[in-house]
Amino acid sequence: MDTILVFAKDLSPWLFGLMSWFITGIDDFVIFSGIYHEAKTKRQKIEAVAGLISMVVIMLLLVVGIGWSISLLRPYTWIGGFLPLWIAIKTWIGWGSAKEPSKGTFFAMSFAGFGLHCTDDIIYNASIIADKIFTYQLWYLGGVLSGAVLMVVLSHYLSKRIGDKPKLRASVIFLVSGYILYPGIEMIIQMFK
């Protein structure tokens, strides 16, 4: 019985980390799904996944390393909304949909796509693991990484099942961009009052 309680105690931070990925990662999901959908060959899809997972690992290292700087970054998380906004505009207009992307760009797109707007993930996750014991941090960050892997699986499934509906993808990305950019827009409006 004690073994089950210890396992449940260790598993709860993992589940919390898994859920946390999707709490802060809906914008990541939309951006990665768009990049993954553009990848046509198996190699391009692997590059996209490798780019995302590489940046997630770097983000997790940053979470551990700069947890103390949370208060400095919090006001600027809205800046990450510009990347999904650009992707939404590009998708809506249809720019680049007919040309084949060059080799190696899918790694860079996924890496930069997550890297340019992961401040919300860093702030959220760093605040969760602050002052926690090492085993809690390890299980929690393992859950976050598992969430990223689950997102890749879901993106693959959706890419195969939904097909290409650029206007629908663009509409969803516009909504996510608006959600991310809202604090910045609100801040600018307050400056003029």
d(CA 48, CA 52): 6
- Establish if 4 belongs to a structural domain: no
Q: Classify residue 4 by burial, with Cβ atoms within 10 Å: 0-12, 13-18, 19+.
A: exposed
- Domain assignment present for residue 1? The answer is no
With respect to residue 46, please indicate whether it lies within any of the assigned structural domains: yes
Q: Which domain holds residue 173?
A: 13-191
Q: Is residue 7 part of a domain?
A: no
Count of structural domains within the chain: 1
29 within some domain:
yes
Residues 40, 44, 50, 52, Cα dihedral to 10°: -50
Taking only the tens of pLDDT, the chain with its 193 residues reads 556 555 556 678 888 888 888 777 777 777 788 788 888 888 888 998 898 898 889 888 888 776 545 545 556 656 656 656 676 677 667 665 545 545 557 888 888 877 776 777 877 788 778 777 888 888 888 998 998 888 888 888 776 666 666 676 667 667 766 766 777 777 778 878 7
Report the amino acid identity of residue 71. S
The radius of gyration of the chain's CA atoms, rounded to the nearest angstrom, is 18
Q: Would residue 67 count as lying in a domain?
A: yes
Cβ neighbours of residue 75 closer than 8 Å, sequence gap 6 or more = 187
Determine contact, residues 23/151, Cβ cutoff 8 Å.
no
Q: Tell me the DSSP string of 56-87.
A: HHHHHHHHHHSGGGHHHHGGGGGGGGHHHHHH
